[in-house]
A and B are shown apart, each in its own frame.
Chain A
Amino acid sequence: MNIFRLAGDIAHLLAVIILLLKIWKSRSCAGISGRSQLLFAIVYTTRYLDLLTNFVSIYNSVMKVVFIAASYATLYLMYMKFKATYDHNHDTFRIEFLLIPVTALALLVNHEFSVLEILWTFSIYLESVAILPQLFMVSKTGEAESITSHYLFALGSYRALYLLNWIYRYYFEGFFDPIAVVAGVVQTVLYCDFFYLYITKVLKGKKLSLPA
């Protein structure tokens, strides 16, 4: 564990908590993409199946359980409890355009052709693009609530911090996983436009709105 990975995990945890609290406190999931949340639930489920086969540490197991539970809680709030507030007219990104290529890529480019390894690889590739329906929704409506922006910033920071973690681990531990690194770079790049808007607008107290 190094400071970058810990900071990344904290940012990730913070993002998940911000989202749950936002929905719970406002009794509304307006502006949140249910499709992205569905993809994240798939990501955590397929990645953390190794909870049953591979023990790393208490920290690791607890975080995995929290991420899985939080993703299903978010889905429950969006698709059941506060279904009436779900803005599905603006949530129209076709997720099969992500799921099909990501599945194909996971079958073709992986470390080892085994079920768990392919599911892990699939989850890494899927995570890198899972935010696209949410970003698409923000661009379609042209704006996002500040709390949604904070969520997106925390979630984007997590993988950016992981990139620093991988640089650190490469130099100090000789650890290198090209699949995770390439997907992590793609994932972080997708947030760049949002990071720019967040820093230039939201941090100056303005609402995140896109030029018409």
Chain B
Amino acid sequence: PVKAPLKDEL
């Protein structure tokens, strides 16, 4: 599975 994008936003 594709890894979830990095959460760097609010």
Which chain A residues have a beta carbon within 8 Å of chain B's beta carbons?
5, 9, 12, 50, 54, 56, 60, 63-64, 67, 110-112, 117, 120, 162, 165, 175-177, 180
Contact = CB atoms under 8 A, between A and B. Distances in A.
A111 B2 contact: yes
A162 B4 contact: no
A112 B3 contact: yes
A50 B2 CA distance: 20
A137 B4 CA distance: 36
Contacts of B3: 111-112
Given A111-B2, A112-B1, A50 B10 contact: no
A184 to B, nearest CB: 10
B7 A120 contact: yes
A50 B7 contact: yes
A162 B9 CA distance: 9
Contacts of A117: 4
A56 B8 CA distance: 6
A9 B9 CA distance: 9
B4 A60 contact: no
B10 A64 contact: yes
Contact of A12 (B1, B5, B10): B10
B5 A175 contact: yes
Contacts of B9: 5, 162, 165, 180
Contacts of A9: 10
14 contacts: A5-B9, A9-B10, A56-B8, A60-B8, A67-B10, A110-B4, A111-B2, A111-B5, A112-B3, A112-B4, A117-B4, A120-B7, A162-B9, A175-B5
